[in-house]
Amino acid sequence: MRRLLALPLLAALAACGGAAEASEPVPTTEVAMAESYVFEPDTIEVEAGATVTWRNEDRFTHTVQVEGQEDHEVEPGESVSITFDEPGTYAYVCTLHRKDMEGEVIVR
Ligand SMILES: [Cu+2]
């Protein structure tokens, strides 16, 4: 019975310690949709012409929508790849979990 009381507290602590906004861009073309409801890493840096692959390693369906482009639904275990030809900063989001899942692709 008492264990139930501890759960909300743990969740609150995790939320505080985790989600550091505006993370340093990571040079990679692989982004995991990891457990639970996160892009990992969320901010990446690639060369122009690179193809970025998002792989869903979570137990829930997510999507990848680069701003101004179509939305891609990605089931658990599936992936989607998008090629970035033009330099620039591209924000992307999971349209199912906008508050938790967003990131940026910086194309050099
Ligand atoms: Cu999602």
What pLDDT is stored for residue 21 in this prediction? 54
Look at the pTM and tell me if it is higher than 0.95. Answer: no
CA of 96 to the centre of ligand 1 (A): 5
List pLDDT tens digits, range 12-60. Answer: 444 444 444 567 999 999 999 999 999 999 999 999 999 999 999 999 9
Q: Is 64 exposed, middle or buried (0-12, 13-18, 19+ CB in 10 A)?
A: buried
What pLDDT is stored for residue 72 in this prediction? 98
Of 73, 77, 76, which Cα lies nearest the Cα of 94? 73
CA of 2 to the centre of ligand 1 (A): 32
What pLDDT is stored for residue 82 in this prediction? 98
**Which residues surround the ion ligand 1 when the cut-off is CB under 5 Å?**
62, 94, 96-97, 101
CA of 1 to the centre of ligand 1 (A): 32
